Structure 1
Amino acid sequence: MRLGIFRRKFKVLLSVSGLAVMLAGCNDKPAEQAQDRPVLVATVHYEADVPERSFVGTIRPRVESDLGFRVAGKVARRLVEVGQRVEPGQPLAVLDEVDLKLQADQSEAEFRAATGVVAQAVAAETRAKELKARGWSTDAQVDQARASADEARARLTRAERAVELTKNSLSYTTLAADARGVVTATLVEPGQVVASGQAAIRIARIAEKEAVVAIPETLVQRARSGEAHVTLWSEPGRRYAAKLRELAPQADAATRTYLAKFTLPDVGEDVQLGMTATLILADTGGEKVARVPLSALFSQGDKPSLYVVDASGAVSLRPVTVKAYETNDAVIGGGVEEGARVVALGVQKLDPAQKVSVVASLAF
């Protein structure tokens, strides 16, 4: 269709050029120089012979984790809702602290009692050593005093650790975010009694996002070695580079496809989780070919050739290798360089010694 439009423009241009020559003849003024022949050119572009394949996927976070309390208790407050963004250290939910505060008070009291016992045991050990030095005590009494003092010190250490544990448990009543992200699920409500480690809030980290797609077994190798990029349905004109991060080692039992996850290092905050994306895979190892209009081929029984136009308007005939013939195009494998401009119409009337004037350019 595009070629037909340019053919009509080309005919109109030739008619205008002929009219100008007739007018010049009527005025009996010889032309100072011959006019260049107007031509339509096509720009050569090489690409992989294997066509690109596209797959529909979704945008997912690379890390999504369920956070839970490290102690059991009754949920007093939930401080976040689904969809809310959170920062590291931000409180998400709080447990009732009454029982844990009582345990903390109990451990503090045991620590003070153990401190007094240690002081008494150390004093008894000191007196036993002094009496032994004066000959008023036996070795057994000294050993007994020393053992009592060691036991008192151990009890003090245990009471000290109990105080630290109860303080930690008291701090665990506040569930805080461990990274920047967004809340994707709230699994607890105020008044609910939860166990230690039970999932309470689900957080998706938004620092790293990826596209998740299902790859058929025939394209697994291309997914590993080929180039990939992603477009969003919300922004069809924008492409994001993608890199394979994970490929399932086993096919899905129902669909017989392999789940693939492609990281998207260039996406920003505008790309939301759950968006629909199109992943495009291209084979980088395939042969490069270019497509030119069939009307651009020039052949007189020998190898097909193309007329290449340089910057000055001069044309040169270049032999090319034709890989295949399609409905409107010819697939060539070489002979002309990338970006070369070739005459797309009227090549049978061209002369290599003749200069041309480009009136339109068409990229293939």
Structure 2
Amino acid sequence: MFRQAISIASLGSVLLLAACGNGEPEPPPPRPVLVVQPQPASAMRESYPGEVHARYEPELAFRIDGKVSERLVEAGDRVRKDQPLARLDPQDVRLQLDGMRAQVTAAEANLRVAKAEYDRYRALLGRQLVSQSQFDSADNAYRSAAARLQQAQAQFDVASNQVDYAVLRASRDGVIARRSIEVGQVVAAGQTAFVLAADGEREVAINLPEQALERYRIGQEVEVELWSQPGRRYAGQIRELSPAADPNTRTYSARVAFSDQDVPADLGQSALVTVRRAAKVPLAVPLSAISAEREQAFVWRVRNDSTLQRVAVRTGPYGERLVPVLEGLQADDWIVMAGVQLLSEGQPVRPVDRDNRPVELAPQE
């Protein structure tokens, strides 16, 4: 009897508490969900490694054959315009110059004799002591001697220039990018001795694969990221595109010029050139964020009041990790990326990012 009285009292207490709560169960706390924002579809962006070069890189070479007697600079040295870089043994060219000088002297002496003969025959012709044919012969000899002197003088000038050609000079201000000669080496005329990276504009050299060449054109806009400045991108464009593939790598070389000439890019720095395709770049979400019902794909978007909204989307070809979303999303949307099969429309949630930090949603307008 006593136990029955206790049970009735307990039941009365429960009913009293229920009456105080108006009979409504306490709502469950908001469910934590992992959210992300859509990102540009990586399939529409292609990146290629490259190296910073000078816009102008002339190959410097001697204009005559010879043996290198002196090398004055090394790769990486800064040089000024007309600065001597290397010298050839001048003995042979000086001997040629001496020979040409002797020929000039002989031609001058021959011209003086021919001139004296010409003057004498002209005076005798005026007194009618020689025939016209004799005077014409003297005149022709004089003209021939003058021509031989002119020829000898031209050859002397060439030999004189060759003495100057024995010294290789920088064509403009810049840095020696490559050296290809050593002291004692015999070089041919036109053989590359140095490559000069001229001061001024800088650009990035890249190699494009054969199968992707049709997607690129001269003037196409790109983005350049220097590996020494991660996260900072500079605008550029494709300035030059080789019409022929490299026989060894089967790639096409290209040059990318910076749009801003004040970019702090040093010679030899590594860079990453990112090229966007001509089409509009779609957004992409993780594969785990996509659900489907009756052949209609959808995602769960978090509203500004921290409740869920089911949004139908049109997707592109599925990738290994990401799915391009062609329609239905904006770049500033927050999308649930895990546990989507357990969610419902209008459900209150507590959004967190990958680092388990609360996500601040934009206030409702």
TM over 0.5, shorter chain: yes
Name 2:149's counterpart in structure 1.
156
Q: Contact 1:50 / 1:283 at 8 angstroms: preserved in 2?
A: no
Q: Contact 2:282 / 2:324 at 8 angstroms: preserved in 1?
A: no
d(CA) in 1 for partners of 2:314, 2:119: 103
Shift of 1:62: 4.6
1:270-300 residue CA offsets vs partner (Å, 9 max, x unmatched): 53333322221212323655879x79xxxxx
Shift of 1:328: 12
Shift of 1:98: 3.6
- SS of 1:210's partner is strand
User: Superposition pairs for residues 45-194 of structure 1, below 5 Å?
Assistant: 50-194=43-187
User: Superposition pairs for residues 1-364 of structure 1, below 5 Å?
Assistant: 50-224=43-217, 227-249=221-243, 258-265=251-258, 266=260, 270-286=264-280, 288-289=282-283, 322-324=313-315, 348=346, 360-361=360-361
Aligned AA (2:135): V
- SS of 1:348's partner is coil
Give 1 or 2 for the bigger CA radius of gyration: 2
1:22-79 residue CA offsets vs partner (Å, 9 max, x unmatched): xxxxxxxxxxxxxxxxxxxx99989679532222233344544442222233333211
Shift of 1:137: 0.8
- SS of 2:223's partner is strand
Q: Contact 1:289 / 1:332 at 8 angstroms: preserved in 2?
A: yes
- SS of 1:70's partner is coil
Greater Cα shift, 113-122 or 147-156: 113-122
- SS of 2:360's partner is strand
TM-score for the superposition, normalised by structure 1: 0.65
Question: Superposition RMSD on alpha carbons, in Å?
Answer: 4.7
Shift of 1:167: 1.5
Unpaired runs of 5+ in structure 2? Answer: 1-34, 291-297, 337-342, 349-358
1:119-157 residue CA offsets vs partner (Å, 9 max, x unmatched): 332232122122122221112211111111011111111
Aligned AA (1:322): V
TM-score for the superposition, normalised by structure 2: 0.65
% same residue? 32
Greater Cα shift, 126-135 or 338-347: 338-347
- SS of 1:108's partner is helix
Shift of 1:164: 1.1
Aligned AA (2:231): G
Q: Contact 2:241 / 2:252 at 8 angstroms: preserved in 1?
A: yes
Q: Contact 2:237 / 2:256 at 8 angstroms: preserved in 1?
A: yes
Shift of 1:253: 6.2
Q: Taking structure 1 as reference, are residues 150 and 252 closer, same or farther at Cα in structure 2, changes over 3 Å only?
A: closer
d(CA) in 2 for partners of 1:73, 1:250: 34
d(CA) in 2 for partners of 1:342, 1:198: 63
Q: Taking structure 1 as reference, are residues 188 and 306 closer, same or farther at Cα in structure 2, changes over 3 Å only?
A: closer
Q: Contact 1:70 / 1:197 at 8 angstroms: preserved in 2?
A: yes
Unpaired runs of 5+ in structure 1? Answer: 1-41, 296-302, 314-318, 351-358
d(CA) in 1 for partners of 2:134, 2:248: 80
Name 1:26's counterpart in structure 2.
none
Q: How many residues align?
A: 309
Q: Taking structure 1 as reference, are residues 248 and 171 closer, same or farther at Cα in structure 2, changes over 3 Å only?
A: closer
Q: Taking structure 1 as reference, are residues 136 and 308 closer, same or farther at Cα in structure 2, changes over 3 Å only?
A: farther
Shift of 1:268: 5.4
- SS of 1:178's partner is coil
d(CA) in 2 for partners of 1:307, 1:66: 61
Shift of 1:168: 0.7
